[in-house]
Every structure is written in C-alpha cells, then in structure tokens.
Amino acid sequence: MEALLFRAGSSHVLHSVALIGVDTGSGRPVIDANGSSSAITLRANGTRIEGFNLTGSGGCGCGNAGIFIDSSDNIILNNNLYKNRYGIYIEEGATNNTIHSNDFLENRVAANDTVGNWWSMEMKEEGLMGLLKGAKIIGNHYSDYDEPGEGCNDTNSDGFCDEPRTIGNGPGIDEHPLVAPIIAGQKESSYTY
C-alpha cells in the first residue's frame, strides 16, 4: 500500500492516484493553503480528487486556486472550494478533465478554463440486465450564480439554472449549474477579501 503524506501548504500530486476525503463525523478533511499558493496542485494525468474542503489559496493573479490543474483526464467531484483566489484554475493544455458535483463558495473567481473541459456529467443508473433505468445530469453549484439577479433562473423548479454558466473567459461551460449547494451543511458567510 502506498501512503501519501500531506503537510501544511500546497500538495503536489505527481502521479495518478485517487485522493478521497472521508468524513469521520467531524466534517470533511480540510486542505488550507493559508494564503500562499494553491491548496492542491495537480500535475498527474488520470487523478481523482473527491470529498475535500479546499480553501485559502494565495491572492495573486497567478493561478493560485483551491485546485490548480496542469494535467489531463482527471475527475474532480464532490468538493467544497471556498474562499480562494480561484476555486479551480485549469492551465492551458490541460484537457478532458471532468468537474462536477462541487460547490464553489465565496471564491474571488469561481473557475478558469481556457480550453473547454467537462463541467457537468450525465450519470446513468442501470437496472436489471443492464437496461438503462434512469439518467441524472448534474453540474456544480456556484455562489456567484445561484440567484435570478446573477443570471440563474429556475422557472421550472427542477433545481438547475435555466441557462448554462460560462467558466472564465474561455469555452468552458457548465450546462447544468445547480441552484443550491450540493454538500449539506455548507453555508456562505460574510467573508470579504
């Protein structure tokens, strides 16, 4: 068994691995960058990051983020990215990353994607004998895009904004942004930068 040790500050994942945070009853594991660099810097292809609270990235405009991605074919899901310079920053050339079921709360910029990665996912549920029983499409929740004044209208009350959300200034689009946070118990505060 391989052990990954994480110390305060940035964590650099240099090979494919699944990083899965486990809530043992007192909350999700927190990775806090303490105002310097990114909470996680991801440079390995084919990595999965799931189940963390990622916060406190540095304030420079240099890509400091809850998760900084400089690799491809990764899955980022079910994380709470809050109070960062960028929630997620995807470097140019990093492609085919799937980012869904995350909460972006109180980040200066929710996300940056100049390439066009996947920001929502269709999850299929199979029934008896492999027949498709149902499908559920899910994106991410953004605290800066969850009210009508921010562009998120939910006229049919299905829990999704009626219009997609663009990601940064590039071609990235979350086709199915969520109206409410995914992770139970997460609340926004009056934090200011």
| pLDDT, tens digit (0-9, with 9 covering 90-100), for 169-178 | 888 999 999 9
With respect to residue 107, please indicate whether it lies within any of the assigned structural domains.
yes
Secondary structure (DSSP) of 116-159: --B--EEEEEE-GGG-EEEEEEE--EETTSSSGGGT---TT-SS
State how far the Cα of 145 lies from the Cα of 131, in Å rounded to an integer. Answer: 36
With respect to residue 152, please indicate whether it lies within any of the assigned structural domains.
yes
State how far the Cα of 94 lies from the Cα of 72, in Å rounded to an integer. Answer: 5
* pTM: predicted TM-score of the whole model, two decimal places: 0.84
Residue 111 has pLDDT above 60, yes or no: yes
Q: Which residues contact 119 (CB under 8 A, 6 or more apart)?
A: 99, 100, 111, 113, 139, 140, 165, 167, 172, 173, 174, 175
Q: Copy the structure tokens of residue 36.
A: 């310097």
State how far the Cα of 53 lies from the Cα of 78, in Å rounded to an integer. Answer: 9
Residue 154 has pLDDT above 90, yes or no: yes
With respect to residue 1, please indicate whether it lies within any of the assigned structural domains.
no
pLDDT at 6: 62
End-to-end C-alpha distance for the chain, whole angstroms? 41
Q: How many structural domains does the chain have? A: 1
More confident residue, 19 or 12: 19
With respect to residue 185, please indicate whether it lies within any of the assigned structural domains.
no
With respect to residue 112, please indicate whether it lies within any of the assigned structural domains.
yes
Q: What is the mean pLDDT of the chain?
A: 84
With respect to residue 56, please indicate whether it lies within any of the assigned structural domains.
yes
With respect to residue 25, please indicate whether it lies within any of the assigned structural domains.
yes
Using 50, 70 and 90 to split pLDDT, how confident is the model at 188? very low
Query: In the predicted model, what is the mean pLDDT of residues 114-121?
Result: 90
pLDDT at 38: 93
| pLDDT, tens digit (0-9, with 9 covering 90-100), for 51-107 | 999 999 987 777 899 999 999 999 999 999 999 999 999 999 999 999 999 999 999
With respect to residue 77, please indicate whether it lies within any of the assigned structural domains.
yes
Residue with tokens 């109070």: 83
**Which residues constitute the domain of residue 72?**
11-174
pLDDT at 58: 85
